[in-house]
A and B are shown apart, each in its own frame.
Chain A
Amino acid sequence: MEKETVTLTIDGKTATVPKGTNVVDAAKSVGIEIPIFCYHEKMLRLGCCRMCLVEVEKMPKLMTACTIDATEGMVVKNDTPKVVKGRQGVLEFTLLNHPLDCPVCDKGGECPLQDNTFNYGAGDTRMEFKRFNNVKKKELSPVITLDRERCIACQRCTTYSEVIEGDQALVMHNRGFHNDIGTFNDQPYDTRFSGNVVDICPVGALTNSIFRFQARTWDLDNAKTLCAHCGCNCNIEFGARENELMRVVSRQNDAVDDGWICDKGRFGYEFVSSKNRILEPGIRKDGEMNVASLDEACDETVSKLKTIIEEHGPKSVGFIGSPFASNEELYLYQKLMRLGVGTNNIDHKSYDDTPGLPVAHYDFTDIESSDLTVLIASDPTEELPILDLRIKKAVTRLNRNLIVLNDQKTLMDKYASLSLRYNVGSDGVALAGLAGAIADSLKQGEAPKVEKLEKTTGIKPNSFKDFAEKMIAAKKVCVIYNPAALTGNSVAIVKNLLSVLNQKPEGECGAIPAAPATNALGAMDMGILPDFYPGGVSLSDDSKIKEVWGESAPTEKGFTTCEMFEKAASGDLKALVVFRSNPIVDFPGGDKIEEALKKVEFLVAHDMLHTETTALAHVVIPSVGPGFDEGTTTNIGGRVQYRRKGLKAESFPDWRVLAKLLSGFEIEAKYLDSFTVTAELAKKVSGYEEIRRGSIQKEGKTRPAQASVNGKTPEVTSPDSIDGFKLRVSEKLFAKDKILESESALAHHFSEPKAILNSVDAKKLGIKSGDRVKVSSGNRGLSVEAEVEDSCNPGAVVVSNAGDEYRVLALIQDHNATVQVSKE
């Protein structure tokens, strides 16, 4: 649909802009800058600072350019004496009580007030009275400090809190002369997105408590890079001084983050200097870990692996990759395993997933243009925060619709027009039920057959019907699902559902596979899978594999992580290479995994931080990780972007480690930097042909969607009835894990895990909120506080993955995740 445009002139220049654009943005489009304070292109037009005064022909008075729409034939003047005088007057007011802090102020050098004063400010003040003094340091939270004197009351921050975050936590008290930015009863302003107010405050009033008074902005070496915490891959700028990371700010990319980042991205970077970092390679001899050179560690790895391959065959070696690593690293690893070792025992996850989609792969911007977003098993607020903001934007500001299908309550329910909750563990049946309801309504498409739908899922057939009808009625539907929160073969059922939906006669649909990990999609694309080569090439596509990877490329299906651990436990898997992954804590059933890893003859851990897994390794190789590394990652929307390094590492980049290992296996590996790897993978991985240094520099590039292998309609298995409770582990954004440890600036967000019980079950067990309960399975027990809330349906308990020390996932010891709950 063509958008209607209007044409106007500004200082004699002609601008044609979409109808509804305000004069500030219209001027910007032709390179004319109108000074502003309160206006922000992502928020409401406030008109409260009056800095943007312009003359508009036929209007008697000066107008605020931010509040008026550009109209056809409008004539705007931005530099007449009247305009200049008006702005001078406004600035004189603004500066009346503003302190002369510039020499020490954090905003200095990037401050709109400085810039505007430079352009319009008087050289002197006419003020004869003493300046009004005010509080210099009001801690709004452990990470945000307000300098009340510097505030010019523009209300950007309060508007942000209300409109963008949607929780009205930051407000303006005592509006008028004594106005004061604050919260309810001086509670901390500690939302998940609070740090953005530091970026948008046009003066140095809201400051980053950690960066405060630490450096001048112009002394920073800024690297335009990506956040590496979750699958959104928000664009950020790393500001370092003398190789020390001083701060992180957002770097707007509308196709990804819309200009915002979450507090984990902004403040959660201590890991770059954690004392837990692995600094040197090590080789274990007689139980003792000894420091080694990289060459020694790589030689040891190659020779041991070769011996094991010789003795037990390539199938006795496995690789567990990381959904947090870059495409280049993962690409090289799978190459090493497939062509060097000769095995497909390659995986990176504990759940089932397959590459490709039967529908379009949607991006963040598609959420805005979709009439309906369908959220399945996803909790964006905790898992993919910037996705949370984008969905909120679609619902609250663009009048889009949201419907939710999940087994637990999330903060997104508040924005949904329909929210269905299936019983924990019945996701396969629920999705098949929904697919069936869609097929029924469309009178075409084949969905898996299910029995006892209501009894199994706890959702009435009619509700499925309503849900399905909403999906069919919408012109554009965006289905967001989290494969990591689905069980069994549910991902296959989601894909079946999508292909059924795709048959609707009108409109379009697409999906976003929203696994939380930073480069989960990249790991799929790079073929860190036992049954797919990079680019979603199935093992059955023998000729293609041979063509791209050579005659010796293995085509026998490899082991999944789960199978690898089983084989390790039984002694069949002799060697395992683990790259940036800590399965003992991060995979379900960690105890068994730990036992299995202890049995492995040769365990290589290539990681950034010391973990429970690296502690067992025979060879440890440091991985420099985010901040120091370079490479591309692929976000949930399929956008490939470049993660630059912001700091110089003491040790070697991962691609160099891989080059050594590859050479050890007589595979040519003459890489000069990460981009030479990118260039190679662009040639080998379908979908990545266009990915190269030049094409991804700015906003990244969306890789074309991969088609999914068309299988037959999947089967559904009903969940077993169990004796006890089903455990649902919910994710927490600020979990006390290896990345955010106790010294983190975000430590105030840490909390103990809670057991959230449905009121029906709580009543049966005589448990009240606040009681201590024990959640246990096998030899594992976790003593936690109970909370009675209908977060999930009866029969299940939700425990948040609040930190590594609690080992919540170790409670999962069978495929039903059965646990017992008892009062202590």
Chain B
Amino acid sequence: MFAFTKESEEKIETILAKYPEERKMSALLPFLTLTQRQEGWVSPEAMVEIGKRLDVSPAYVQSVCSFYTMYFQYPAGKYIIRFCHNISCYLNGSDSLLDYLSKKLNVEVGGTTDDKKFSLIKEECLAECSAAPVMRVNDDYHVNLTKESIDKIIDSLK
């Protein structure tokens, strides 16, 4: 069963305070984000709960959730690695680095490691072209990547 934690509930209060009561459905994206931060993904049960809170149908929640590729509708790893493969990074060798990382973690691009520690995702531009190649691990950016720096970053993650 899904339930918001106490901390999440506190955040919900702040979120809801930002929108007029009759427009509370506008709080849908913050709710989805909050849910994903709490659970690592947005489960169907969570969608039902969000729908109840915001007076929209679970179908609507799911339709919005599915538009944003950064929300997961399945359980993802503890660390979400988003690897840019857009033009600047590509010109700077991101494809071979992504390949390297995929072999290192022993997971296919788009997949999650068996120990549920890492999800490796190919991402469109992360808006950090001046420091390409770039990847993002959860909320942190890692720039000017090389095989060595990737090793270091991954090894530092518990």
Contact = CB atoms under 8 A, between A and B. Distances in A.
A27 to B, nearest CB: 33
Contacts of B60: 162, 168, 171
Contact of A175 (B56, B57, B67): B67
Interface string B58-93: 111111001100000000000000000000000000
Given A184-B44, A184-B47, A175 B59 contact: no
A188 to B, nearest CB: 12
Interface in A159-200: 162, 167-176, 182-185
B140 to A, nearest CB: 28
A156 to B, nearest CB: 15
Nearest to A162: B60
B59 A183 contact: yes
Contacts of A182: 59
Contacts of A185: 44, 58, 62
> Which residue, of A169, A173, A184, has the highest number of chain B Cβ atoms within 10 A?
A184
Interface residues of B, number: 12
A168 B25 CA distance: 13
A171 B67 contact: no
Interface in A126-176: 158, 162, 167-176
Given A184-B44, A184-B47, A168 B57 contact: yes
Contact of A174 (B57, B59, B61, B67): B67
Given A184-B44, A184-B47, A185-B44, A172 B63 contact: yes
Contacts of A169: 57, 59
Given A184-B44, A184-B47, A185-B44, A167 B57 contact: yes
B121 to A, nearest CB: 16
A174 B64 CA distance: 8
Contact of B56 (A168, A170, A174): A168
Given A184-B44, A184-B47, A170 B59 contact: yes
Interface string B33-46: 00000000000100
A112 to B, nearest CB: 24
Nearest to A173: B66
Interface residues of A, number: 16
B96 to A, nearest CB: 27
Nearest to B61: A184
B58 A184 contact: yes
B118 to A, nearest CB: 24
A260 B152 CA distance: 64
Interface string A600-639: 0000000000000000000000000000000000000000
A322 B67 CA distance: 53
> Which residue, of B47, B61, B66, has the highest number of chain A Cβ atoms within 10 A?
B66
Contacts of A172: 63
Contacts of A162: 60
Interface string A184-218: 11000000000000000000000000000000000
Contacts of A167: 57
Nearest to B68: A175
B63 A173 contact: yes
A345 B107 CA distance: 84
> Which residue, of B60, B61, B67, has the highest number of chain A Cβ atoms within 10 A?
B60
Given A167-B57, A184-B44, A184-B47, A175 B62 contact: no
A162 B59 CA distance: 11
B67 A184 contact: no
B56 A171 contact: no
A390 B96 CA distance: 61
A184 B67 CA distance: 14
A362 B58 CA distance: 37
Nearest to A166: B57
Contacts of B63: 158, 171-173, 175
Contacts of B66: 173-175
A147 to B, nearest CB: 20
A349 to B, nearest CB: 39
B2 to A, nearest CB: 14
A184 B56 CA distance: 12
A351 B141 CA distance: 74
Contacts of B44: 184-185
Nearest to B57: A168
Interface in B116-143: none
A86 to B, nearest CB: 28
A162 B57 CA distance: 9
Nearest to B56: A168
Nearest to A158: B63
> Which residue, of B44, B57, B59, B67, has the highest number of chain A Cβ atoms within 10 A?
B59
Contacts of A183: 59
B132 to A, nearest CB: 25
Nearest to A171: B63
A162 B64 CA distance: 14
A171 B44 CA distance: 15
A183 B62 CA distance: 9
Given A162-B60, A170-B59, A185-B58, 9 more contacts: A168-B56, A168-B57, A171-B57, A172-B63, A173-B62, A174-B67, A175-B66, A184-B44, A185-B62
9 contacts: A167-B57, A168-B59, A169-B57, A170-B59, A172-B63, A174-B66, A183-B59, A184-B62, A185-B58
Q: Which 8 A-B pairs have the closest CB atoms?
A: A171-B63, A168-B57, A184-B59, A184-B58, A168-B60, A171-B59, A175-B67, A173-B66
Interface of B: 44, 47, 56-63, 66-67
Interface of A: 158, 162, 167-176, 182-185
